[in-house]
Amino acid sequence: MSTILEGIEQSFVETDRLRAAVLRAPGSGADADATPVVLIHGNVSSSLFFQPLMLALPRPSVAIDLRGYGDSETLPVDATRGLRDFSDDVASVLDALGLSAVHVVGWSMGGGVVLQLLLDRPDLVRSVALQAPVPPQGFGTRLDGSLCTPDGAGTGGLGVNADFVARLAAGDTSTDAPTSPRSVFRSGYVAAGFDDGREDLWVESMLSTRTGLDNEPGDGIESASWPGFAAGGRGILNTMSGVHLDLTPVVDIPAKPAILWIRGAHDAIVADESFYDFHTLGKHGIVPGWPGEEAAPPQPMIAQTRAVLDRYAENGGEYREVVFEDAGHSPHIEDEERFLAELLAHVERVEREADAASVID
C-alpha cells in the first residue's frame, strides 16, 4: 500500500547526526509564508500518523521521523541521555532546513522530545502543543517526581511484552492475538469503536519501528525491588524512565512559550492509573507480588503533568488543558476537526499577541 498521501512530500535531510525522513505539506490556505507547524511523533509510530492533519492545516507543516522510526536512519539510542538523542536530532533537522521559532507539536513520547527541545534549544520553539505527553518526571515516579525506587524498578526495556516486540519485528498485521500491533492500536491508541477507514496506514506506521536492544524496547537490569527488573541504559523505553528523564526544569526557563495540552479522556496509555504501568498491573492482581500502594503506587501521569504545568504558569508561563471526552491516546486522528481548531486557535493567538507586542515596542 502507498503510505504517503497525495499532497504530502517526503524528502531526506542529511545532518551531522543522522539521515532523517521528513514529510512536508504546503498548507491548504493561501499563506505559504506562515510560521510552520513541526510535528513530532511518539513511540511505536512515525510521521505517517500526522498526514491527514498536515493536509488539513492552512499553513506549512513539517513532520520528522525520529531515529529508528519511519524512514529515518536506524541509530542506537543512548537512554542515559533521556530523550536528548531525539531532541538533538530534531534540532539538527530544523537547523538544516533553516527553521527556527516554529510551532511544535509533540505526541506521547514526542511531547517529551518537544519539552527537551524547549530546554536545550528555546530559539527553535515559538509555541508548544502537547498531545498525551509522557509525564515530565519520567516513568516510575510519584506525584512529586521522586523515584519509587532508586533504580526505577518496573520501568524500561524489560517491561514490554516480548510477543508484541516479536510481532513488530515480524511485520504482523493480523488480529490473531491481543499483542499484535493492530490489536494494540485498537486497545491502546484509540477509544473503543474508533474506525476512520485508515487503520492499515496506522498499523504500517507502527510496524516501521525498529526493534532491538538499542531501539525498541531497549535493555534492562535485574532489581531487588518488585517486580524484579529496572531501567537499563540502552534503547527507547529506558529513555523515559525517571532514572534518566527529568523535564521539570521547564518551569524555570526564562522565556516560556504558551503551551496547549490536549488529551483524551479514554487514554489507555497515559493516565493516572494506566494499565501500561506495572504498578497499576500489580494493584489489580495482573502481576503478582505487588508490595502495596506505599511502595509501588500507580503513577498519576495526568496529575504529574498538570502539577508541572501549574508551576510553569506560576513562574510566568501559560498553558491550557483541553480534554477530548470521546478520544483515547490519539485525539488528532480521533477528532481531527476539533484538534485542528484547537491547534490553530493556539498558534494564531500566539502570533497575534507577538504582533501586538512588537507594535507596542
pLDDT-based confidence at residue 343 (cuts at 50, 70, 90):
very high
Report the share of the chain in percent with pLDDT over 90: 95
Give tens-digit pLDDT for 123-146.
999 999 999 999 999 999 999 999
Question: How sure is the predictor about 31, in pLDDT bands with cuts at 50, 70 and 90?
Answer: confident
Of 27-36, 160-169, 245-254, 262-271, the one with minimum mean pLDDT is 27-36
Residue 1: predicted pLDDT: 63
Rounded Cα distance between 224 and 215, Å, is: 25
Produce one character per residue of 53-64: b if its CB has 16 or more CB atoms within 10 Å, e if not. Answer: bbbbbebbbbbb
Quote the domain boundaries for residue 43: 9-149+247-360
Decide if pLDDT at 186 tops 60: yes
For the domain that residue 13 is a member of, what is the CATH number?
3.40.50.1820
Distance CA 267, CA 278 (A): 16
**Average pLDDT of the segment spanning 215-228:** 98
The model's confidence at residue 359, banded by pLDDT at 50, 70 and 90, is: low
Confidence at residue 32, expressed as pLDDT on a 0 to 100 scale: 73
Counted domains in the chain:
1
Q: Is pLDDT above 70 for 159?
A: yes
Residue 303 predicted with pLDDT over 80: yes
Q: Give the mean pLDDT of 245-256.
A: 97
Give me the phi and psi of 109, to 5 degrees please. Answer: -55, -35
Residue 218 belongs to a domain:
no
Average pLDDT, the chain: 96
| CB 209, CB 68: distance < 8 Å | yes
**Average pLDDT for residues 173-183, to the nearest whole number?**
97
Q: Please check the confidence at residue 248 and state whether its pLDDT lies above 70.
A: yes
Q: Is residue 2 part of a domain?
A: no
Q: How confident is the model at residue 360 (pLDDT cuts 50, 70, 90)?
A: low
Answer whether residue 1 is part of any domain: no
* Residues 300-323, mean pLDDT to the nearest whole number: 98
**Helix intervals (H) in the chain:** 51-56, 84-97, 109-120, 162-170, 181-184, 199-207, 236-239, 278-283, 301-314, 331-334, 336-360
Kindly state the average pLDDT of the residues 276-296.
97
- Does residue 206 fall inside a structural domain? no
| pLDDT value of residue 354 | 82
The secondary element (H helix, E strand) that includes residue 335 is none
**Domain-located, residue 231:** no
Query: What does pTM read for this prediction?
Result: 0.97
The pLDDT value recorded for residue 358 is 62
According to DSSP, the β-strands at 220-222 and 216-217 are unpaired
The distance of Cα 346 from the centroid of its chain, to the nearest Å, equals 19
Residue 294 lies in a domain: yes
Looking at residue 144, its amino acid is D
CA-CA distance, 24 to 10, in Å (whole number)?
6
For residues 328 and 191, the answer to whether their CB atoms sit within 8 Å is: yes
Question: For 107-122, what is the mean pLDDT?
Answer: 98
Q: Distances in Å between the alpha carbon of 191 and those of 16, 201, 301?
A: 40, 17, 18
Q: Is residue 175 situated within a structural domain?
A: no
Q: 74 lies in a domain?
A: yes
Neighbour-count burial of 22, counting CB atoms closer than 10 A to its CB (0-12 exposed, 13-18 middle, 19+ buried): buried
Share of the chain above pLDDT 70, in %: 98
- 203 within 8 A of 126, measured Cβ to Cβ: no
- The reported pLDDT for the residue numbered 30 is 63
The pLDDT of residue 361 is: 56
